[in-house]
Structure 1
Amino acid sequence: MPKKKKKRLVLTEEERLLVMQQKLLAEEEMHKKKEDMLAQFLKDKLAKEERNSVLNMHKINLQWRTVLREVKARELRKDIEILSQTFERVVDCKDSVIRSLAKDLAEAEAQYAHALRSHLHNIDKLLELQQCRLGYLGEDYKTELEMLQKEFDTERKMIIEHHEQETRYLQDVLLAMDQNFNDSDYEARLDFQSTRDDVKNKNLEEKHYLRMQLEGKVEELWKRFQQALRNYTEATEDRKLAFEALKLRDEKSTKEIEKQMKKLQKLQELILMLKNKIAVHARESEEQNRRVRDDKEVVLKQLQKLKCQMNRARAKARSNLAKLSRESNGALKVLERVVEKAELILRLAEMCRRLESEEEKVLPFYASSLNWDEQKAVNKVAMEKPVEPLAQMMQDYVGLERFWQRYNKVRLEQLSLERTKAALLHDNLKLKNLLKQYLDGISVNDEVLSQINPLMIINQHPITSSLPQPVPVTEARLKRPIYNVVEAAHEVSRIL
């Protein structure tokens, strides 16, 4: 029995372990589910926050744009006013310059007309002088021409006479030379014929002698030639056959050589053509490489220039970004101040709304001081479209008319209250002075006695002879407290 109990205990522990493991697994699954749910919840919340942030950013940008637009509109209006004033000033300056230039132009035209008249008068005088000078020169020319004609005629006669003399002399010389030439020619012909006959005879004799010698030599040579021919034919028959065979082979080889030569010529031509093409391509490639190198240098220069421009643009953009950030920070601060001011205005408006009376809530504005016709005229003018820029600018702020009415009413009430306060303060000061005089008059102490007392004045002169002289104020007396003494009868009568 005890052994069975031990086995049951072991089984129960295993079951407990299994149950514990199942519980741990279930807890881990629940923990994972919770983590997943929490992560999903955080993701949804993050997405929602991002959407809200984007929406808020859009709203802020919209408000920022509206504020910037208003500021820019005000700046542009101011600039337009300044530009209009400067334009009017420049137009006035240009008008004054134009008037001065027109005046200078009229004076210059008058001076030009006067100078032109004087110039034309001087030209007329010069023309007269030139005509006189031309007349004198023409007369001198005619006289010199006549003299030159006379000299030319005399020289011509002299040259003609000299020419005739020389021609006669040359004709005589020519006749003498012809006679001498004919004599020398006849003698030379005779000598030539005699020498020609002698040379002809000698040549015939030599020719006959040489012919005899040559005939003997030719016969001997012919015999020798015939003998050598027979010997040669007998010795070269075999060679002749071989020669013919070789000749046929030679013809065939010459034909093949011609074909090969043609092929070689074609190949050489092709090689030359390819060399020319290669040279042309090499030149083109060199030119193209040169152009590519030039383009590369140009592109590198442009790249360096663009890099410099990009660096400058980056520096400028960085400075602009820094400036924009500074301006945006300043604008944000200004906007924060504006928002704070607007919130203060809204709180004050809410407080004022709470403090308004029933009458102010029903009739918040003061009654107009204009009559019915004046109001109709004002409304008619307001309905018309303004033409002047200032009126157009005022037309943009028509929506604030109620606000300005309320503001003017409050401002008028404030001024009236300030005036009332000043009058009351003045009256209060007067009453305080009167009360002080009254109290000084009914009280007796050293401080009062040291001053002029209205109750002790007779005929506008103070009674000081019968009174004791005031004790000099010392440092101990200043430190001692001073009490005002008032009679009870006076105080009771004043109270009752």
Structure 2
Amino acid sequence: MPPKGKKGKGKKKKGSGKLAKMTEEERMLYLEQQRLAEEEFRKQREDFLSAYLQGKIGHEEKFSKLNQYKLNHQWRNIMREVKSKELKRDIEILSQTFERVVDRKESVLKSLVKDIEEADDQLSLAVRAHLQNVDRLIDIQNRRVSKLTSEYHAEKEIIREEFDSEEAYVSEQQDRDMKDLQDVLYGLEESFMEKEVDARAEFQSMRDEIKNKNNEEKHSLRILLEGKVDDYWNQFNDAKKAYNEATRDKKAMFEDYKQRDERSSNEIERQMRMLQKINSQIAAVKQKMALNSRTYDERNRMLKEEREKMMLHFQQLKAQMNKIRELQREKLTKMTLESNGALKELRRQGDKADRILKLAEMCRKLETEEEKVLPFPATSLTPEEMDDVAVALKEEPNEPLAAAMRRYQNLEEFWRRFNKVMLDKLALDKEKSVLMSENMQLRSLLKQYLDGVSVNDEILSSVNPLIVVNGRSNVNLKPPMQDPRVRPAATVTVEASLEVRSKRL
């Protein structure tokens, strides 16, 4: 490299001396020719470098495919052997597991058959007890019905006797009342007849007295007025004749009205007698009604009080029944909601259990041989700590949480296995993160290597470990600080001998 630099300097000095002897046009022509020659040389060098790199990339791809095929072939053989061994081991483990599951299923079937037999015995006992209870209830109901029937007939006879006695009493009382009313009516008629005879005698005496008095006055007046009477009589006859002639029609009407008046008087008298009779009957009936009213008012009052008591008792019973009905409805609603909630919870728990069983079946395929033989890992406690735990479990719990935890003591093995799985998961997550970081580093190195074998403006401007200028690279080869707890990433080293061998191939 240095000799080339010196030779270039000599040519430059010689060219500059030559340029000084040339004219301006010759100098421009010479510089143009020199620029074209340099451009042609640079173009040829780029074409040569590109062809060289393309050939190298083709060789690399061909040998990488060949090596990849060889590696895949070898890996297939190795993986077949490993997979066959794993399958044989899995088959043995599965056969042992199957036998263990079959034994467990047989024991479960035996226990279920025993439970079914016990359940059948309990069912027969329950059915027998139920039938006995039903027979006893039927006997009790029959006795109760017969007792109620006898009580009904007895009460019916008592009510019938009371009705007959009351009917006889009412009939007898009615007969007595009728006799009393007839006696009263007879007495009233007798007193009325006596009063009528007295009134008629008094009326006749007064009539005779008035008649005699009138006769005396008439005789005296006749003597005094006999002359005048004759005159007046003549005048009267004249006036009467004129009056009769004038009032003949009115007289006929008067006679007719008089006859009608007599008939009306007779009818009024008859109606008055009938009204008196009806009034007497009305008075008797009123008296009887008053007597019956007092009797039946007392009975109605007692019946009304009894009815009010029965209505009050009925209202109380109705309110109590409504209250009981509302309470039973609330209980039924609450029981329905709780039963629906319980069914949903049981269904959810059943789905959860099915999902757990499916996950357990899926995870059982991924278990190691050690996990299949010893499903529950050993505890990490020391014997002294185990003794302390046993003593603590024997003590009576003072807090509700401790009492609740004691009921779930049988899940200790499950939680131990669960914690082991969680630890394995955390370890796998840590290993996954380490492998991902290692993969990223390998990808970065592979990208740098592929960028190194190809040349373009982007590659020349970016960091490239294959470009060395004056013995220096633009890549920082200082190793990064690593965490001692994390496994270091794998590095890729390309040997020159392998590169030469691949070129020869």
TM-score by length of structure 2 reads 0.32
Q: Which has the higher contact order (CA 8 A, sep 6+)?
A: 2
TM-score by length of structure 1 reads 0.33
